[in-house]
Amino acid sequence: MIARALGAIAVVALLAAPVVIPRYHVTLLLPAFAYGIGLLGLNLLFGTTGLLSFGHALFVALGAYTAAALTTHFHILHLETLLIGAALVAGVVAVPVGLLCVRYVKIYFGMLTLAFGMLFYSFLYKFYTLTGGDEGIRVLRPRLLGQAFAGLDKVEFLIGPFYYYALAVLAMATLLMHRIVRSPFGLGLRAIRENPDKAAYVGVAVRRYRFYAFVIAAVFGAVGGALLAVPTGLADPLLAYWTHSGNLVFMLLLGGFDHFLGPLVGALVFILLQDTVMSLTTYWRFVFGAILAVIVIFFPRGLLGLLAWRREPTA
């Protein structure tokens, strides 16, 4: 009951934010939404299936660059098209990468995903004629549902129509992921996480399911990446760097990987925390490292784990 009430309050707060909260903080929520979508995907892999990817940033970057290329090079400005494009490109790339990666588990999976992430990073960085090198590619302001909102300046656009658009995409992504996790497929993934050998013995096609989870995670990551790039107006190579993947996992752990809403909470708290800490000290990395260490050692279930909302505990 408390959960429902808090959830309702959160929804109302998010809907009212652009009107009630100072502009600056509203613009902070935008990357939080984008990361939330990307993390929903990562958690399908980690929380649900038990695979920790250290290369999820690859797909986030892929989404951002797809959106950027579509707007800058192909002059396609409809955000719907950008998001679908990002999803498709990520899906296509995720097929060979996923087929390779899901053959391995645990540390090898982590290493292989890290390697692919860095492979993409070096490609983005070095092939500057194609990718803009370390300057990246710009993302032009997209049209939302066909509307250009030309009368609004950048900030007004972002905290107005774009905010609600992103929130809507987040809501849809959340509902979709919820469906997936609560489906027979989702149960199969959890069985794989709990005991992959036994799962095989009771008829679960382990490798195939892991592969599907990988591709789905990639698609969510890319959609998040595309949304991430719109406010900054730029897709740059650092999005694919391994430390960015590390931060994604950090966010997941912060929110709580064994609760469905953990990714969203984690993204939000991380972004707000980062902003607060950065304004207090230049040594924010140290603070964040310390926070991560504390979480890993003492609170591995994250914030939502502390609040003990989950139904089924993980092994």
Partner 1 sequence: MLGGAFHAAVLFLVSAGLQLVFGVQKILNLACGSFYALGAYLGVSAVTWALGAGLPAPLFVVVLIAAGLALAVIGPVVERILRTIYDRDESFQLLLTFALVLMFEDVIRFVWGTAPHQLGNVYLVYGQLRIAGSTVPVYNLVVIAAGALIALGMGWLLTRTRFGRIVRATAENREMSEALGVDMHSVYARVFTLGVALGTVGGALVIPATAATSEMGIELIVEAFAVVVIGGLGSMRGAFVGALIVGLLKAGAIAIWPEVEMLAVYVVVVAVLVLRPTGLFARAAA
Partner 2 sequence: MTLLEAVDVRKFYGTFCALDGVSLTIAAGQFVSIIGPNGAGKTTLVNVLTGLLAPTSGRVRFKGDEVAGIGPVRLARLGMARSFQLVNVFPGLTVGETLAVPVLARRRRGGRLLASLARDRETWSDVAEIAALFGLGDRLERPARTLPQGDKKLLDVASAFALRPEVVLMDEPTSGVSTADKHAIMQTLVQAAARMGVQAIIQVEHDMDIVFGYSDRIVALHQGRVLADATPDAVRADERLIDTVLGRSYLAR
Residue 146 or residue 203: which is nearer to partner 2 going by CB? 203
Residue 80 or residue 275: which is nearer to partner 1 going by CB? 275
- Taken in order 29, 30, 31, 32, the sign of the CA dihedral is positive
Query: Which DSSP string do the residues of 142-192 spell out, in sequence order?
Result: PBBTTB--TTS-HHHHIIIIIHHHHHHHHHHHHHHHHHHHTSHHHHHHHHH
Q: Residue 60: name the closest of 30, 37, 29, 27 by CA.
A: 37
Q: Residue 189: name the closest of 163, 161, 173, 208 by CA.
A: 208
- Applying CB under 8 A, among 31, 41, 188, 305 the residue interacting with partner 2 is 188
172 lines the binding site for partner 2 (CB under 8 A): no
Minimum CB separation of residue 198 from partner 2 in Å reads 5
210, two tokens: 């892991």
180 lines the binding site for partner 2 (CB under 8 A): yes
223 lines the binding site for partner 2 (CB under 8 A): no
Q: Residue 260: name the closest of 166, 175, 165, 164 by CA.
A: 175
Give the integer Cα–Cα distance in Å for 201 and 182.
Answer: 22
Contacts (CB under 8 A) with partner 2, residues 32-71: none
308 lines the binding site for partner 2 (CB under 8 A): no
Minimum CB separation of residue 65 from partner 1 in Å reads 16
315 lines the binding site for partner 2 (CB under 8 A): yes
Minimum CB separation of residue 140 from partner 1 in Å reads 27
Contacts (CB under 8 A) with partner 1, residues 82-121: 100, 103-108, 110-112, 114-116, 118-119
Going from the C-alpha of 272 to that of each of 13, 105, 184, 261, 303, the distances in angstroms are: 15, 33, 36, 17, 14
Give the integer Cα–Cα distance in Å for 129 and 126.
Answer: 9
Residue 120: CB atoms within 10 A of its CB come to 24
Residue 76 or residue 292: which is nearer to partner 1 going by CB? 292
Give the integer Cα–Cα distance in Å for 56 and 33.
Answer: 17
- Applying CB under 8 A, among 17, 95, 152, 292 the residue interacting with partner 1 is 292
Q: What residue ranges bind partner 2 (CB under 8 A)?
A: 179-180, 182-188, 190-191, 193-195, 197-206, 209, 212, 312-315
Q: What residue ranges bind partner 1 (CB under 8 A)?
A: 46, 52, 54, 100, 103-108, 110-112, 114-116, 118-119, 122-123, 126-127, 242-243, 246, 249-250, 253, 282-286, 288-293, 296-297, 300
